[in-house]
């Protein structure tokens, strides 16, 4: 988790009695308050979700292939070209 900072913002959740009990039990099992448990769990899940959008690793061979793909000239895509030439459904007639 990130270094301790002043907490000034708040988030509200609506949940079932059963969900609240599960969170309370998990927090107690972790020796944390429910707020600490929920915050740490949510941040951990958020980091996992965003991880593939921030960075990725490639070995030397994959890097070479990746760079070659970036450097390659754009391919002609006739169907896409045709699509862009058609009138948009959002344009009035």
Q: Does residue 88 or residue 24 have the better pLDDT?
A: 24
Chain Cα centroid distance, residue 11: 19
Which tokens in the block code for residue 43? Answer: 């941040």
The model scores a pTM over 0.85: no
Which of 22, 14, 55, 56 lies closest to 41, judged by CA?
Answer: 22
Q: What is the pLDDT of residue 38?
A: 96
Q: What is the pLDDT of residue 54?
A: 74
Q: What percent of the chain is modeled with pLDDT above 90? A: 66
Which tens digits make up the pLDDT trace of 17-55? 999 999 999 999 999 999 999 999 999 999 988 887 777
Average pLDDT for 59-87: 93
Yes or no: say if 33 and 27 are a contact pair by the CB < 8 Å rule. yes
């Amino acid at each position: 988790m990130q270094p301790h900072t002043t907490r000034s913002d708040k988030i509200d959740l609506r949940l079932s009695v059963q969900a609240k009990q599960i969170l309370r039990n998990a927090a107690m099992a972790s020796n944390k308050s429910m707020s600490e448990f929920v915050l740490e769990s949510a941040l951990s899940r958020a980091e996992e979700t965003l991880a593939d959008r921030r960075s990725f690793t490639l070995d030397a061979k994959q890097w070479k292939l990746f760079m070659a793909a970036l450097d390659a000239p754009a391919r002609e895509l006739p169907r896409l070209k045709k699509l862009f030439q058609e009138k948009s459904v959002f344009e009035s007639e």
